[in-house]
Structure 1
Amino acid sequence: MTGAGNKGMFGAISTGILVLALLNVAQSIFAPLFFSLIVIALMWPCQFALQRRMPRLVALFITLSLTMAVILALGFAVAWGLTQVGRWLFLNAEQLQAVYTIWADWLEQHGIPVMGTLSDRFDVRWLVGVMQSTAGRLNSFAGFTVLVLIFVMLGLLEVEEFGARLAAPEAQPYGSRILAANSTIAVKLRRFMIVRTVASLLTGFFVWVFTLGMGLELASAWGAIAFALNYIPFIGPFVATFLPTIFAVAHFGSWEMVLVIFASLNIIQFIIGSYLEPRLAGASLSLSPLAVIFAVFFWSFMWGMAGAFLGVPILIAFVTYCEGSPAARWLAAILANKPAETADA
């Protein structure tokens, strides 16, 4: 029995590795597919409500238009913010180089050699190039968006038919389990995105107010970047905090002001992300912080920026499927972050 169990476990691990390798190799197909499944779960109530009052294709057109508007708005917020920062770097390249030189001299005077290592490599044109390449990558999302919209269009047209096939007697008992899990996942994803949107709006607003009050240039750009990147846990808030901090070095030239801005931005992110957002999400979306971190970084390794966004929704779906399977319920208990009395119930 032990040998058979070991072989079964080895086979499951091997299958999992092969599936992950396939997902990585074919990321240009699977990343838009997974993204479209999340969009379908979010937009199906809108599609269902509209098609009860108008022709199905007209309702589909309106739903797809709303979906495209949201995706383009998020992409535009990041692209516009980074473009503003890149333009400022280009216009103030000499000032940034002078500030860097002053700071490097101060570090050398205190026994920290910098000029011999970083100064030869430091080039403001390199920074500008990084910003421009980042904006260019955002433009490459046009093809990704088109593929997502195609998947969403086909998926929305087949939601009801797919549900009927899962409810058919021939698909039982697995069909009913999948149908119940899919319904639960859709509810959780909608709640997750609503909470995330509220948190992102609050983060962008308070970052804008703070940077504007501190007299830091491009306050609107920092607010837009903080709003859009807050949808990506951990990575997004880090970038949204790191960029204005580096910018403050050139703007103020004072390490005291830089520390104040860095600490204040992190306090904003902490209060909204670690205090307010979990209370809005509730116990139904409670996940282990370690599992969330792993999911974000693992899927960002697999699929880049799209994977960083998809990491938490994929984790939510995985935990929900595990909760519906007696053999995998233990794994859901490990990945979830629920109170002991809830788990016992």
Structure 2
Amino acid sequence: MLQGLLIAAIVIGGLYLAQEVLLPLAVAILLSFVLTPPMLVLQRIKVPRVLAVVVVVAVAFSILGGLGWLISHEATKLAGNLPSYRWTLSQKIDLVRETTAESQVLKKAGDVLAELESQLDKPAEVEGTKPGQVEVTEEDAEREPIPVEIRVPEPTGLDLYRSIAGKVLPPLMTAGIVLLFVVFILLEREDLRDRIIRLFGGSDLQRATSTMNEAAKRLSGYFLRQVLVNAAYGIFIGIALGAVGMPSPVAWGILAMMMRFVPYVGSYIAAAIPVLIAAAIDPGWSLVLIVIALFVVGEFTMGQIVEPLVYGRGTGVTPVAVIVSQVFWTWLWGPVGLIIATPITVCLAVLGRHVQGLSFFDVLLGDRPALSPAQGFYRHALIGDAANATYKAELALKDQSLLTYLDDVALGGLGIAERDLARGALEDEQTEQIAETVAEILENLDEYEPKRWFSRLRRHLEMVGAEPAKDDEPVDEPETEDAQVVDSKDFRPGWSVDTPVLCIAGRNGLDKAAALTLGRALEKRGLKASVLGPDTLSPGMIESLSETKAKLVCLSYLGFGGGPVEIRYMVRRLRRILPDGTMILVAYWNQENEGEAEAERKLLDVVNADGYANTLHEAVRFCEDAATKKPPSGSEESAQANAAPKTVPAA
């Protein structure tokens, strides 16, 4: 921890001290991402690399220089007109002051503060003098004030040139450094990429090359689209403000374009000065309202309509990361850091998503969930937060069936809990709490019916322009699985009892929670099931199962526990106790470790149960087949159908 904080402090200190070099380098890298696509287009039409770099850099810096000149020109013209706006603005201030309900309160408070300030400025009173009277000695009376005159020497020509150079040369030097960096980054693009690949992915060259190419392509496309969208927004603002009679509309359009690189609030910050100017030039308030409406409508149109169509699913950065990056880079590098903060953050997030050595940036900045759905389910169950877990489940059920959700998310989360229990990280009380929370979640979802028309429309919009699915690829239809309900008329003889299926936890509360998910899935499909805890299998209570009317008993295990021998022993005991014809299904829900496949096969060999399943889909399918499938007519099995149910092969 201390080592990480020390490294972070060193990095931040280096960024601050070296900002004179790093700031132009950062701007140059972002410009190179924007200029790479047009440079590649020129190279595809057989333009030499050096000439292509010269052309795109010359055009880009000409545009930037032109925008800078326009801003300077419009600002100078606006400064010359400011004195004429003074009277109108003062009238509005007086009107606001007179019409404000709290104006008298503010005025009295101001008078009190003025009196206090005058008293503090008075000299200390000498003892024996009257209040407000200052003692004057004879020596002070004889003194006369000495006049002081300050004369500033006339500036020489060298001083004038030095003053101008001190204001002009730093921006020109920064622009020159940026220009130099951009040219060399574009010229040495391949070599720089190879070095980065070697630095972060030398052990897997193929993967590092493909991910680096994809990251560069995504960043170049994103930054180019961002520049075009912001430029369109600036053009709209400039034209609209010019149409309503605002002075210097070009300057406001350029300001709006630049400030829109600051997300959420940049457009409204850019609107502050035009709104103030509108209040100064218009005796009424109509122009002010029009200017505000133009900025609001323009930002809403760009943010809610244009950007989703251009960017797709977003920038890939969380809103919190954007806000924190704005504060951090502004504090570090000033106003320029405010403008380039979002592009830098997006760049780091994309690199973290594609470059393994920078994956921590994806965790800190990326918008992908930090925890998988199964991990999130386990976290909510661990702290007993059934409400938020139910909310997450309802969101997931808009895009998938309940059976798939329980199989992938609920059982996946319980599998993580089982591994924590195996290494001693969970107490028995916590496992019971997890079971109670899972039961509450399932109860909350009992009457939930998702409205899938919206998710279908969303998936359709997301698939527009995507590659068509292959013939052998399954099509996700979330409602089909939950819609398949077994008709009681198709039940085999003896299966029409109140609870034809018993789901029994093998060892602990986690196994009971898994049994609850199976019971909920079976009831959703029309098979009533009863869930019993692990104490049912204890020596003192297992004999009670001899009177059960259930036709199938499912043993639920989230882990081997004592191994196949323990499970085989339990199945053997149940065979002796359960009524004749009662089937036994062993459900072993651990799906995480593929290396346990051999152990699962051994389990099948030694347990001697009627069926075996390690997913919820397999267990539900086994129960449905056991309840409904009948042997062919005329066969020996058909003659014995009423005597004993058919043993269904292991899933």
Q: Name the CA shift for 1:174/1:62 in 2 (closer, same or farther; >3 Å).
A: same
Q: Name the CA shift for 1:220/1:163 in 2 (closer, same or farther; >3 Å).
A: closer
Aligned to 2:234: 204
Alpha-carbon offset, residue 54 of structure 1: 4.6
Q: Structure 1: how far apart are the matches of 2:312 and 2:368? A: 10
Alpha-carbon offset, residue 27 of structure 1: 0.8
The 3-state SS of whatever aligns with 2:317 is coil
Q: Structure 1: how far apart are the matches of 2:167 and 2:265? A: 17
Q: What are the superposed Cα offsets for residues 205-239 of structure 1, whole Å, 9 maximum, x if unpaired? A: 33234434444343344333323432343453123
Whether 2:271 is the aligned partner of 1:241: answer: yes
Q: Name the CA shift for 1:325/1:83 in 2 (closer, same or farther; >3 Å).
A: same
Q: What are the superposed Cα offsets for residues 242-273 of structure 1, whole Å, 9 maximum, x if unpaired? A: 11111121122334653453244223212213
Q: Structure 2: how far apart are the matches of 1:274 and 1:77? A: 30
Would the aligned equivalents of 2:34 and 2:221 in 1 still touch at CA under 8 Å?
no
Q: What are the superposed Cα offsets for residues 109-166 of structure 1, whole Å, 9 maximum, x if unpaired? A: 743637959xx9xxxxxxxxxxxxxxx9899533221111111122222222234445
Q: What are the superposed Cα offsets for residues 272-301 of structure 1, whole Å, 9 maximum, x if unpaired? A: 134421331112623222222222232122
Q: Structure 2: how far apart are the matches of 1:171 and 1:245? A: 52
Whether 2:146 is the aligned partner of 1:154: answer: no
Q: Structure 2: how far apart are the matches of 1:23 and 1:38? A: 17
Aligned to 2:78: 85
Equivalences for 1:1-345 in 2 at 5 Å?
9-50=1-42, 53-107=46-100, 110-111=103-104, 113=106, 116=110, 141-165=171-195, 172-173=202-203, 179-234=209-264, 236-255=266-285, 257-283=287-313, 285-324=315-354, 329=359, 332=362, 335-337=365-367
Q: Structure 1: how far apart are the matches of 2:253 and 2:32? A: 29
Alpha-carbon offset, residue 80 of structure 1: 4.0
Q: Structure 1: how far apart are the matches of 2:103 and 2:30? A: 53
Q: Structure 2: how far apart are the matches of 1:181 and 1:307? A: 28
Q: Name the CA shift for 1:243/1:87 in 2 (closer, same or farther; >3 Å).
A: same
The 3-state SS of whatever aligns with 2:188 is helix
One-letter amino acid matched to 2:96: W
One-letter amino acid matched to 1:16: A
Q: Structure 1: how far apart are the matches of 2:250 and 2:199? A: 56
Alpha-carbon offset, residue 32 of structure 1: 0.6
**Looking at both structures, which has the greater relative contact order when contacts are Cα pairs under 8 Å and sequence separation is at least 6?**
1
The 3-state SS of whatever aligns with 1:337 is coil
Q: Name the CA shift for 1:266/1:83 in 2 (closer, same or farther; >3 Å).
A: farther
Q: Structure 1: how far apart are the matches of 2:200 and 2:335? A: 40
TM-score, normalised by the number of residues in structure 1? 0.75
Would the aligned equivalents of 2:238 and 2:250 in 1 still touch at CA under 8 Å?
yes
One-letter amino acid matched to 2:56: T
Alpha-carbon offset, residue 10 of structure 1: 2.5
Q: Structure 2: how far apart are the matches of 1:167 and 1:256? A: 58
One-letter amino acid matched to 2:253: G
One-letter amino acid matched to 1:310: I
Q: Structure 2: how far apart are the matches of 1:229 and 1:168? A: 37
Q: Name the CA shift for 1:80/1:237 in 2 (closer, same or farther; >3 Å).
A: farther
Q: Structure 2: how far apart are the matches of 1:29 and 1:153? A: 16
TM-score, normalised by the number of residues in structure 2? 0.43
The 3-state SS of whatever aligns with 1:283 is coil
Alpha-carbon offset, residue 108 of structure 1: 7.6
Residue-pair matches, total: 318
Q: Structure 2: how far apart are the matches of 1:167 and 1:331? A: 17
One-letter amino acid matched to 2:15: L
% same residue:
21
One-letter amino acid matched to 1:86: A
Q: Structure 2: how far apart are the matches of 1:284 and 1:176? A: 28
One-letter amino acid matched to 2:33: A
Alpha-carbon offset, residue 325 of structure 1: 5.5
Would the aligned equivalents of 1:95 and 1:250 in 2 still touch at CA under 8 Å?
yes
Aligned to 1:3: none
Q: Structure 2: how far apart are the matches of 1:147 and 1:169? A: 26
Would the aligned equivalents of 1:286 and 1:338 in 2 still touch at CA under 8 Å?
yes
Look at both structures and tell me which one has the larger radius of gyration over its CA atoms.
2
The 3-state SS of whatever aligns with 1:286 is coil
